[in-house]
Amino acid sequence: MFYIKVKLGQDLEMKVDIHDENVFTRCPYCGTEFAVDLVEVLSDGECDLHSTAVVCTTCTKKARG
């Protein structure tokens, strides 16, 4: 189990479990927010959490014509 830990104040922090339904990103072309499966995105071993972008299905379809 992995989780995100965010410090909200000097004595307050929040922990949120990471699972396949609460990880989101924004499409780099249209800005649409959508859920992503981190395991699938990171499975190719050539990406990282900072610079990897996932294109939404609409922009993917436009790019493919």
Task: Tell me which residues touch Zn ion (CB under 5 A).
Answer: 27, 29-30, 32, 56, 59
Q: Which residue has the tokens 């995105």?
A: 41
Is the distance from CB of 28 to CB of 50 less than 8 angstroms?
Answer: no
Kindly tell me which of 33 and 44 has the beta carbon lying closer to Zn ion.
Answer: 33
Backbone angles phi, psi at 48, to 5 degrees: -140, 165
As measured in angstroms, the least distance from the Cβ of 47 to Zn ion is: 18
Is the distance from CB of 54 to CB of 39 less than 8 angstroms?
Answer: no
As measured in angstroms, the least distance from the Cβ of 29 to Zn ion is: 4
As measured in angstroms, the least distance from the Cβ of 3 to Zn ion is: 28
